[in-house]
Amino acid sequence: MVRIWKKSKPESDAASIPDPHNVPKHVAVIMDGNGRWAKQRGLPRIAGHHAGMKAVKRVTIAADHIGVKALTMYAFSTENWTRPQEEVDYLMKLPQEFLAIELQELIEKNVQVRMTGWREGLPAHTLAALDQAEADTRHNTGLILNFALNYGSRREILEAVKTLARETADGQRDIDALTEEEFARKLLTSGLPDPDLMIRTSGELRLSNFMLWQSAYTEFWFSNRYWPEFGEADFYEAVKEYQRRTRRYGGLK
Ligand code: V0D
């Protein structure tokens, strides 16, 4: 018998979707390389940020598709305020732009939009867009799309320590009885599980002050692609590598 076609996407193929069992519950992403992507094309940095927004959409759809529970995207760090003012001003308009285009579909897909970071310092128009998105998706039960915005982990840990020190000084707390779980509840990510998988694009191999406490047991996956080039297939590749690594501990995890 002559087979005139073959399976176009066997299970082992790079383009196939991950095993529906053992999908990471929480995936965190450091979306790096937007500026370099733009520079390579002779475009202004803001064009890279805009293209990066499209990748946020693609990865959100991919994560939702395979049943990831929470996706945290590192959109703006506490260190990013040192960038040129006009770049910061542009970045602060992206949540509105993203939500104007995508919020309706996110609602239809039962996605919950959230933010992790400090509100202080963010422009009122940015906060208004975030508040609107959070309010409009509060009762959704699907994927948590969490934007880390004006977030930095050392400050997060330091503020938790200060709160705990005050509670101790006030006599409200027995410091010797403090547990890891209680400490974690003082962090900005309280309520979210720790990330199972962290992705960083653009060939950088650092944590850059992102989820220092939370990533104690996280699997890391690095891509040489610039963030605006990152797509569904790359995301699935990362998840499949996560599954290869964690399969070994099956039953013991
Ligand atoms: C630029 C690459 C989506 C990283 C992605 C304020 C840097 C595109 C959002 C967004 C940014 C944030 C909140 C929200 C909806 C969308 C975003 C910023 C930067 C920084 F509710 N992309 N995006 N926010 N970039």
Is residue 221 a contact partner of residue 159, using CB atoms and an 8 Å limit?
no
How far is ligand 1, taken at its centre, from the CA of residue 160, in Å? Answer: 26
What is the reported pLDDT for 37? 98
pLDDT at 11 over 80: no
The atom number, within ligand 1, closest to the CA of 129 reads 21
What is the reported pLDDT for 212? 98
| pLDDT one-digit tens code per residue, 154-203 | 999 999 999 999 999 999 999 999 999 999 999 999 999 999 999 999 99
What average pLDDT does this structure show over 139-162? Answer: 98
Task: Report how far residue 202's alpha carbon sits from residue 158's, in angstroms, rounded to the nearest whole number.
Answer: 29
Q: Ligand 1, from 34, 50, 56: best to mutate by most atoms within 8 Å of Cβ? A: 56
What average pLDDT does this structure show over 106-130? Answer: 98
The residue ranges of every structural domain in the chain are 22-152+195-243
Nearest 5°: phi and psi at 125? -70, -35
Active-site residue, from 32, 34, 150, 234: 32
| pLDDT one-digit tens code per residue, 57-79 | 999 999 999 999 999 999 999 99
pLDDT at 15 over 70: no
| pLDDT one-digit tens code per residue, 236-251 | 999 999 999 999 655 5
Of 80, 21, 22, 56, the C-alpha closest to 227 is 56
What average pLDDT does this structure show over 203-223? Answer: 98
Is residue 36 a contact partner of residue 209, using CB atoms and an 8 Å limit?
no
What is the total residue count of the chain?
253
Minimum CA distance residue for ligand 1 atom 15: 95
What is the reported pLDDT for 84? 97
Task: Report how far residue 169's alpha carbon sits from residue 125's, in angstroms, rounded to the nearest whole number.
Answer: 39
pLDDT at 98 over 70: yes
Q: How confident is the model at residue 145 (pLDDT cuts 50, 70, 90)?
A: very high
Measure Cα distances from 197 to 56, 79, 150, 215, 237 in Å.
17, 23, 21, 9, 12
What is the reported pLDDT for 79? 96
Percent of the chain with pLDDT over 70: 92
Which two structure tokens, joined as six digits, stand for 26? Answer: 């929480």
Helix or strand holding residue 115 (H, E) = strand 112-116
What average pLDDT does this structure show over 104-116? Answer: 98
What is the reported pLDDT for 112? 98
Measure Cα distances from 172 to 166, 169, 176, 184 in Å.
9, 8, 12, 18
How far is ligand 1, taken at its centre, from the CA of residue 147, in Å? Answer: 7
Residues near ligand 1 (Cβ within 6 A): 31, 34, 49, 52-53, 56, 75-76, 91-92, 94-95, 98-99, 113, 130, 133, 147, 149, 227
Minimum CA distance residue for ligand 1 atom 4: 75
Minimum CA distance residue for ligand 1 atom 9: 95
Work out the number of other CB atoms within 10 angstroms of the CB of residue 24.
Answer: 26
Measure Cα distances from 10 to 41, 65, 143, 194 in Å.
35, 19, 28, 32
pLDDT at 139 over 80: yes
pLDDT at 204 over 90: yes
pLDDT at 106 over 90: yes
pLDDT at 6 over 90: no
Nearest 5°: phi and psi at 144? -90, 115
Q: Kindly report the CATH number that applies to the domain delimited by 22-152+195-243.
A: 3.40.1180.10
What is the reported pLDDT for 12? 47
The atom number, within ligand 1, closest to the CA of 49 reads 1
Is residue 192 a contact partner of residue 146, using CB atoms and an 8 Å limit?
yes
Task: Write down the pTM of the prediction.
Answer: 0.93
Minimum CA distance residue for ligand 1 atom 13: 95
Helical segments of 41-111, H only: 45-66, 85-91, 94-108
Torsion of CA 39, 45, 50, 56, to 10 degrees: 80
Average pLDDT over the chain reads 94
Active-site residue, from 19, 22, 64, 80: 80
Question: Who's near 73: CB < 8 A, 6+ residues apart?
Answer: 28, 29, 31, 56, 59, 145, 146, 147, 148
Q: Is 196 a known active-site residue?
A: no
